[in-house]
Amino acid sequence: ELVPSIMSNMLNPDAIFSNNEMSLSDIEIYGFDYDYTLVFYSKHLHTLIFNAARDLLINEHRYPAEIRKYDYDPNFAIRGLHYDVHRALLMKIDAFHYIQLGTVYRGLSVVPDEEVIAMYDGSHVPLEQMSDFYGKSSQGNTMKQFMDIFSLPEMTLLSCVNEYFLKNNIDYEPVHLYKDVKDSIRDVHIKGIMYRAIEADIEKYICYAEQTRAVLAKLADHGKKMFLITNSPSSFVDKGMKFIVGKDWRDLFDVVIVQAEKPNFFNDKRRPFRKVNERGVLLWDKIHKLQKGQIYKQGNLYEFLKLTGWRGSKVLYFGDHIYSDLADLTLKHGWRTGAIIPELRSEIKIMNTEKYIQTMTWLQTLTGLLEHMQVHRDPDSQMILEEWKKERKEMR
């Protein structure tokens, strides 16, 4: 009887969720990241990154050509997973630093719970072994967390190469494998492999969103200032924005910054801005003002704040990386921030299913029964309690 009433209050997969009260009338300046914020990519992009990095492993790092038999699996990994660099294990760790048993993978195979508990002396991972905001650890990257959407191909490639070595009884150093895969994924970006492929076939890789221009134009019409800060290069951003917004996209933005090298952009005070001309050439002029219609490279947030005066809660910045895009801006500079989390749509759709609602309703009921019955110490009550605990564990 509870299910129909709960079903009537289902969440909207396209809703905006607020963690803090805010009036948009107080926002004067809107800032945006580019990748996975203003522009979204098709499923083909991760396959492209995976294949290109796999080929770099073979051609430049001399890995066995047989790893070409592995293809990208979009259903293998999700954002937020941790990777134990020394043990070559991919896993999910919760907010309290406990390994979620049943989620630990060595290669493409699940590691038994008993083995995980033996390796870690339980399921808790000490804080000093965990990554900080920027993926670094006080113990030499013992446990790396993958928070970027672009890291999905990296996790899958790591697991595939691990699987190949394990299946073929090849002795290898997990730390070297992690570094080589990391470098190969990085090179797909910095060597321009990904950018050139997308520019050559924009319609294949970029999802056209007709509402993007409408939203930006509406903000501009209401006198709002707008800026763009991205790690992507100038020509790549220009072609993508022309595709989704139009040739006049730069007229909508008051400041455009490319190759910002976030998160260093938000913390390093030493790097000055450089102007990029229409041919993509870097100029050597000293920057005294950030002008509308111009494109700037690198720089830092402190110089940005000094030149624009855009400080505090009148600024709302959108990005997809919770740590490197958003955390420092809120904690250090008081900006309002919005996280673009595309995974929420599919999660909410699952939460809205009748099966999920029935399961959660029964789990809550079981928890209530356990709380009520745990005071009874007689054998019959204890037997029922153990059955309920087992059922709850299986449902979870």
Binding site for Mg(2+): which residues?
33, 320
Sorted by sequence, the CB contacts under 8 Å of residue 39 that are 6+ apart come out as: 206, 207, 209, 240, 241, 244
Which residues lie across from 257 on neighbouring strands? 229, 296
Residue found by looking up tokens 């630093």 in the block? 97
Whole-number Å distance between alpha carbons of 324 and 343: 18
Whether the CB-CB separation of 83 and 158 falls below 8 Å is answered with yes
Residue 57 corresponds to which tokens in the numbers above? 């492993």
Is 33 among the residues known to form the active site?
Answer: yes
What are 37's two structure tokens?
């914020």
Structure tokens given for 179:
């570094």
Could you say which of 14, 33, 171, 187 is catalytic?
Answer: 33
Binding residues for GMP are 35
The helix, strand and coil proportions of the chain, stated in percent and rounded to the nearest 5, come to 45, 15, 40
Q: Find, among 353, 360, 372, 388, the residue nearest to 7 by Cα.
A: 353
Which is the catalytic residue, given 35, 84, 148, 238? 35
| Strand, helix or coil for residue 281 | coil
Give yes or no for a contact between 149 and 81, defined as CB atoms under 8 angstroms apart. no
- Are 373 and 385 a contacting pair, CB within 8 Å? yes
Neighbours of 148 (CB within 10 A): 18
Of 148, 149, 103, 156, nearest to 125 (Cα)? 103
Q: Quick one: 101 exposed, middle or buried, by C-beta within 10 A (0-12, 13-18, 19+)?
A: middle
**Cα 76 to the chain's mean position, in Å?**
15
- Binding positions are 33, 35, 320
Classified as helix, coil or strand, 245 is: coil
Q: Classify strands 315-319 and 336-339 as parallel, antiparallel or unpaired.
A: parallel
Radius of gyration for the alpha carbons in the chain, expressed in angstroms and rounded: 24
- Residue 144, helix vs strand vs coil: strand
**Catalytic positions:** 33, 35
